[in-house]
Chains A and B, each alone.
Chain A
Amino acid sequence: MLDPMPCRRIIGLGNRGRGDDAVGRMVAAGLRGRVPEGVHVIEHDGESAGLLEYLYGADAVYLVDAAVSGAAPGTIRRFDVLEEMLPALPGSASTHALGLAEAVELARALGQLPARCFVYVVEAGSFEVGARLSPAVATAVDTLTARILEDIR
């Protein structure tokens, strides 16, 4: 008998109306239609309890968000959540009380992390209301889209 199709999710987080905060959603949009069967591409605002739902019941989850750490805008970092705790990611411009890092750590505390879980963050330059992606972050979208396609193969 065949194994059921493994469920994998790519979740792009952020707000399309807040400059570089849109980066996760832009990566998700760029991946839509280009991923293998069984991989679901989702855009999400980053609210933690809702996000937690998407961490359940998946074999692998790939999360993409903006961050502010002081690095150069457009810098991409990748975390293997199973290997390490996520640093606090204060760069998420969401006004919700809990964010991506809290959702992932809550899932870990509840023993409900997927077997594979990766977080990609792109250093943001600006969260200006109504602005487009800054040039360095727009370039990072292409790089990261290619990188994730590679990672999910």
Chain B
Amino acid sequence: MTHKTIKVNYLARVEGEGALRVTVRDGVVRAAELRIFEPPRFFEALLRGRAFAEAPDITARICGICPVAYQMSAVHAMENALDVHVDGPLRALRRLLYCGEWIESHALHIYLLHAPDFLGYAGAIDMARDHPETVRRGLALKKVGNAVLSLLGGREVHPINVRVGGFYRTPTPQELAPLAENLRRAREAALETVRWTAGFDFPDCNRDYELVALRHPQEYPFNEGRIVSNRGLDISVAEYNRHFVEEHIAHSTALHSRLRERNRYLVGPLARYSLNHDRLSPLAREAAAEAGLGPSCTNPFQSIIVRSVEVLYACDEALRIIEHYQEPERAAVELRPCAGVGYSATEAPRGLLFHRYRLNGDGTIAEAQIVPPTAQNQPSIEEDLKTFIGDWLELPDAALRERCEQTVRNYDPCISCATHFLNLEIDRA
């Protein structure tokens, strides 16, 4: 049997470093393994012994693209452990901050990382030569997300204004007003983005995922809700470890997550959208319908449309929050350290981000557990590849490789969160 191995030194346009190995024998895909070889980063161990109040700033360092998600899951879990509930304008500001992160993170992925796959470009630079106005629109959209982060977070990357119990400083309504101007323009750009991505060609690749996301009684989920799935899962966040398990896999330094009862599952935009379509704003729902999306979407290639719908929702929601905002009397609620266990899950741009902490009586961290979305999606990425590659084996190697890369990019994987990415090896017999 002759073996042919195709290697790519680096897969561009994903965050981090790792490798993908695909084994094909007699025309059948035997294995698709995502190997992550960045050393584990020991954040959970690093947190032990630190004060509860340090968790949002330490965990924000896990990711430069979604620091807000780490901060939000950390503050909610700590507040849960300390039996404190943050409500009113402080809660609204947290949602507003999350809107900024979704806009910024999704716009980067849609325009600079993912769209070139659909339009036949090697990357954003080639695409920008032919479509400069489109790329400018994407950059302008991203900039508005960054502006939200800067204003509420104190700076664009690794915000420093978030604390357990609230914020260090809250903005005045006057400070938010110019942001609203920008967000109205961004909302227009987001609507154009939905229409633009809806016009791409999508392979017919629907998958039978178990979709997992937060669900809140009124809102499209950012900060809180129950963890639900399309197969009947409906649990409180505190029950997470009873239903989900993380496992070491020989070919990867990142942990794999699975449901104890039913194995792999999917988190992220497709899951959020499909489980919360009825919670979108009317504008976002109409745009989704106009784009040809039903109330659920299980074609991972169409995640680019779903992300666009979520950007539109985030602009709409941010404007709603600013319109109703009244500055709170205090920037944070008072906290008293005590022993306890706290849980939280929030919706990072890439999906559910679970944190659990056990605190000592003096408020220092005794145990920390962080489950990032990419670790949860890794088994589904591998299964997508295994499922789809069979139909693409007739393609020349370069085109096959491109398809595999695109399949991975569908997930906007943040490997530096799950730990880094990607060599590609296709081993054909």
CB distance from B226 to the nearest CB of A (A): 33
- Residues of B in contact (CB 8 Å), total 28
A96 touching B15, Cβ below 8 Å: yes
Known contacts A53-B143, A96-B15, A110 near B128 by CB under 8 Å: yes
A35 nearest CB across to chain B (Å): 23
Interface residues on A, range: 20 to 34
- When distances are taken between beta carbons in the complex, the residues of chain A under 8 Å from B179 are none
Contacts of B16 in A (CB 8 A): 95
User: Interface code B135-149, partner A: CB below 8 Å = 1, 0 otherwise?
Assistant: 110010011001000
**Counting CB contacts under 8 A, is A111 at the interface?**
yes
Q: Is the CB of B112 within 8 A of A49?
A: yes
Question: Which residues of chain B are near A108, meaning CB under 8 Å?
Answer: 125
Q: Are A102 and B124 in contact (CB under 8 A)?
A: yes
Residues on B with C-beta less than 8 A from A102 are: 123-125
Contact with B along A102-136 (1 / 0, CB 8 A): 10011011110000000000000000000000000
In the bound complex, how far is the Cα of B108 from the Cα of A52, in angstroms?
A: 13
B157 at the interface (CB under 8 A from A): yes
A71 within 8 A of B: no
Q: Is A152's CB within 8 Å of the partner chain B? A: no
Instruction: Indicate whether B65 reaches chain A with its CB closer than 8 angstroms.
Output: yes
Say yes or no: A98 contacts B136, CB within 8 Å. no
CA distance A45 to B10 in the complex (A): 22
Interface string of B92-124 (1 = CB under 8 A from A): 000000000000000010001100000000011
Whole-angstrom distance between the Cβ of B149 and the nearest chain A Cβ: 11
Asked whether any CB of chain A lies closer than 8 Å to the CB of B256, the reply is no
* Cα(A48)–Cα(B111), bound, Å: 13
Given A49-B142, A102-B125: A95 and B135 within 8 A (CB)? no
Q: Are A110 and B132 in contact (CB under 8 A)?
A: yes
Interface mask (B154-170 → A, CB under 8 Å = 1, otherwise 0): 00110000000000000
Indicate whether A50 sits within 8 Å of B15 (C-beta atoms), given known contacts A45-B157, A109-B125, A110-B128. Answer: no
Interface presence of B356 (CB below 8 A): no
B406 to chain A, nearest CB (A): 15
Query: In the assembled complex, which residues on chain A have CB atoms less than 8 Å from the CB atom of B124?
Result: 98, 102, 106
Given contacts A45-B157, A109-B132, contact A96 B125 (CB under 8 A): no
